[in-house]
Every structure is written in structure tokens, then in C-alpha cells.
Structure 1
Amino acid sequence: MNTQDAKRVLETALICATQPLTLRDMRSLFADELGADTLRTLLDELTRDWEGRGVELVALASGWRFQSRPEMREYLDRLHPEKPPRYSRAVLETLAIIAYRQPVTRGDIEDIRGVVVASQIIKQLEDRGWVDVIGHRETPGRPALYATTRSFLDDLGLASLEQLPALDLGHTAPALAEALVDAGVQASLLDDTEPPAAPDTTHLDADSADRADSAPPVAPATPLLPPPSEPA
């Protein structure tokens, strides 16, 4: 198979794929007859071929995919007028803290936000596929450690966490949330009118318990194709 035919096959597979394709997926297209370096060269050529169009080829955390350019979102949204799920500022701030400080426990998040983290907030992020438990801290109670997922990066159109806007360690939770919006989390997901959730007084992880003993408590990128439901 010559290079031009191989590029056509690769382009077709990427357009028809229902989730990002990894290099391993692409090699299987050619029965492993094309190496990774050759595939990267073809991907670079395809990226250039699609410059100036309404669709672009991008590298994400889970692989490569075609997606619409950000400036096309206004028009594409007219085809699908249904509104996406809306999240409270508390949810967005919690997501931002996890994204920028991961891995973190609920106690870590509470230290930064200054309020108790309701179980509903974590559940919303887990249900969205943006946050997952990756382990437990080796402290009394072994609290769960939360981190963002590949789906989170895919939905923001990012290949890695290093592509998030750079911040110094002194930023507050609201500032982290604004940076996350700048990185690609649509502002339309934020519902400022939503009343704050009631404090989750039933939860007290190991980190929070330690503090309670010593101190008083404190008060896209629109994809062309649907994002993957789980990491490739």
C-alpha cells in the first residue's frame, strides 16, 4: 500500500470512529505493517490537509479524533438546541481543585474551599466521567484520592494536564474555576442561580476528623463525534 492510500484509510477510520483512536488502533488498520513513526507522519499530513476547514484533527489524552473547531459551536448548537447539564459553582470549583491539585482527598478540597464538600458534588463529577478514585492516602481512615480522567481531558480537547492554564499555588478556588472555564469548560455549564447544597454533615473523612480534633470548623471543544464513555 502506498502512502497516499494509507492516508486515505487512516482518514476514513478517524472520521468514522466513535471514539479517539490510539496509535495501536491505527496500526491494526494496516495489520501492523506501518510503524508508529510512519503513522505520526501521516497524522501530521492530515492535520495540515484539514487546516482552514471547520473540522480539525487533534491529539487528545485518549488518542486522535476529528472535531469541529470552537468557532463552529455557535452554528452546530442550533442543530441540537437541548441544553447541557448545568452545574453549580461549587461543583466547578471542586472540579478545578481536583484538576490543579490532584490527587486530593475531600479533606484537601474542604481546606481550599473553606466549606464541607457535599457527597452530591463528588457524585456529579463521577457520573459525568470527569473524576475518579485512583487510590487512598496512607493516613488514618485511608481517605480516597480523587483525580481527573482521560474523558475530562478529551471533553476539554486537551492531550494532557500540562495544557491547562499555568497557575501559581496561591490561587483560590474561584480563580481555579475561572481558569478551568478558560481552558475549555463551557461557561454555560455554570448555573449561578442554583441554591447551595445543604452541608453534608453525615460525612467526615479522616482528614476532616483530624482537623475537627484540633480546630473549630470553618464556614468543550464541541466534538464532531461523541466523546468516549471510558478511557481508551
Structure 2
Amino acid sequence: MVPLDTELTDLPQPLRWREWMARVEAVLFASAEPVPRAVLARVVGSDCALELLIEDIAVELAGRPYDIARVAGGWQLRTRACYADAIRAAQGDSDAARDLTPGEALVLTIIAYRQPVTRGAIARLTGREVSRDLIGRLSRQGLIARGPRSPEPGAPYSYVTTPAFLALFGFDSLRDLPDLEALQDAGLLAEDGIDLGMPIAGEE
């Protein structure tokens, strides 16, 4: 196989830029997962300003039903939110976020904001038992994974969110999580007096 010519020195700069744009868009189009910078860098020249290139692609996609989003530390072509109902109608199903039960959504929220956090700590925070089945469902969906063992007695595993969690909710990193105080002020975390910003009873 002939190595891919990434530098394209035989092309004038405008045509070289257009070819790099096409390559990056093709790679994003072919991938179902967010594509990290290191992967995109394999198809462009060493002097390519990748962020500027992606900005130019985004400008060209204005008015299209999809755009480029920075998700989970990479980039992904994603359909615009206004077309979600049309896509669900065509596919005959709903997205994973809508499939979460209220209990699963609550536990996932706690893990997102308090990670790494154990199942016991989640139970203490909510005042209710958190079943292994619930944790297993979130794990099978790829939204959470095991974190480090806790120093508490028995050294139980803690849980953390995954890149799939970021991708599902359109976050680039955990820093993009909605402001906790704003969620509490809106009453979205008021169920049973749960306060994710307060220490869990029995924890330092």
C-alpha cells in the first residue's frame, strides 16, 4: 500500500487546504465515535492548523442538518437537535438518554458529579438501596465503568462515567457538566432533598 501523501506539497495552498478539509470530513463521516486529534492528524500535513481547518468545515456545514461537535475529547459529525424527532420517527426507536429510568438517571447524575463514588455512597446519598442490577444496566450501556477501589471497609469498587457518557450528552469533558447550583435552583436535584454538593454522611 502506498503511504498517504499528507503534505501535498505539489498542490497550491488553497487546494491543499480543501483536500485536508475533505479528508477530515470523510474520516468523521465514517466514524460512529468521536475522533481524537491524533487520528485526524494522520491525514493532514504537519503544518495544518487542525482547529482552524475544522472551523472552516463547520462554516461550510451551516444550513446542513448536521454539524461538527467537540465531544469526549475529539470531534464528531452530529445531526442537529431540531431533527431528532424526524430521526427517531424514521428509525422507530428512541435515544439511550430517553431510555433511562428515573432511578438510572439519578444514579448516573450522582456518579457524574461525585465520581469516583461507590454504590454504598450513592445509597447513603439517596437514602435508598442501589441495586447491582441498576449499576449493571448503566455499565452495559457503556455509560459508567469501575473506578479505583475505595479506602472504606471492604474496599468496594467506585464508579466513574465514560467517554460514551460524554458523547451521549454532547459534552467534551466533565467540565461541561451543567452548573450544579443552577440545577438545584431549577429544582432538578431536589428529589428527596438530595444535595450533590454536600458531603455524604459518614464520609470525610
Q: How does 1:49-64 map to 2 (within 5 A)?
A: 49-64=60-75
Runs of 4 or more above 6 Å deviation:
none
- The 5 Å alignment of 1:119-134 reads 119-134=132-147
Aligned to 1:112: 125
C-alpha distance in 2 between matches for 1:177 and 1:23: 39
Give the equivalent residue in structure 2 for 1:41.
Answer: 52
Alpha carbons 2:116, 2:159 under 8 Å: kept: yes
- Deviation at 1:111? 1.5
Match for residue 135 of structure 1? Answer: 148
Alignment partner of 1:146 is 2:159: yes
1:5 corresponds to:
19
**Match of residue 19, structure 1, among 1, 18, 33:** 33
How many residues in Structure 1 have an aligned counterpart in Structure 2?
178
Q: SS at the partner of 1:135?
A: strand
Q: Per the alignment, in what secondary structure is the counterpart of residue 40 of structure 1?
A: helix
Of residues 66, 69, 74, the one that matches 2:77 is 66
Per the alignment, do residues 7 and 14 of structure 1 end up closer, same or farther by CA in structure 2, a change over 3 Å counting?
A: same
Match of 2:43 in 1: 29
Identity value in percent: 26
Q: Deviations over 1:29-82 (max 9, x none)?
A: 23xx335x6111101111122122210101111411111000001111121113
Cα distance 1:153–1:90, how it changes in 2: closer, same or farther (>3 A)?
same
Structure with the higher strand share, 1 or 2:
2
| Contact map agreement 2:73 2:173 (CA 8 A) in 1 | no
In 2, the alpha carbon distance for the partners of 1:176 and 1:51 equals: 36
Task: Report the secondary structure of 2:78's partner residue.
Answer: strand
**Partner amino acid, structure 1, of 2:174:** L
Work out which of the residue numbers 173, 177, 196 in structure 2 matches 1:164: 177
The separation in 2 between residues aligned to 1:129 and 1:75, in whole angstroms, is 25
CA distance in 2, matches of 1:44, 1:120: 43
How far has the Cα of 1:101 moved from its partner?
1.3
Which position in structure 2 is the counterpart of 1:226? none
For residues 59 and 177 of structure 1, the distance between their equivalents in structure 2, rounded to whole angstroms, comes to 31
Aligned amino acid, residue 15 of structure 1: F
- Aligned 8 A contact 2:183 2:189 in 1: no
Q: Where does the alignment leave 5 or more consecutive residues of structure 1 unmatched?
A: 179-206, 212-232
Task: Name 1:94's counterpart in structure 2.
Answer: 107
* Secondary structure, counterpart of 1:46 in structure 2: helix
- After superposition, the Cα gap between the structure-2 partners of 1:177 and 1:65, relative to the gap in structure 1 and judged at 3 Å, is farther
Calculate the TM-score normalised by the size of structure 1: 0.69
Distance 1:137 1:76, change over 3 A: same
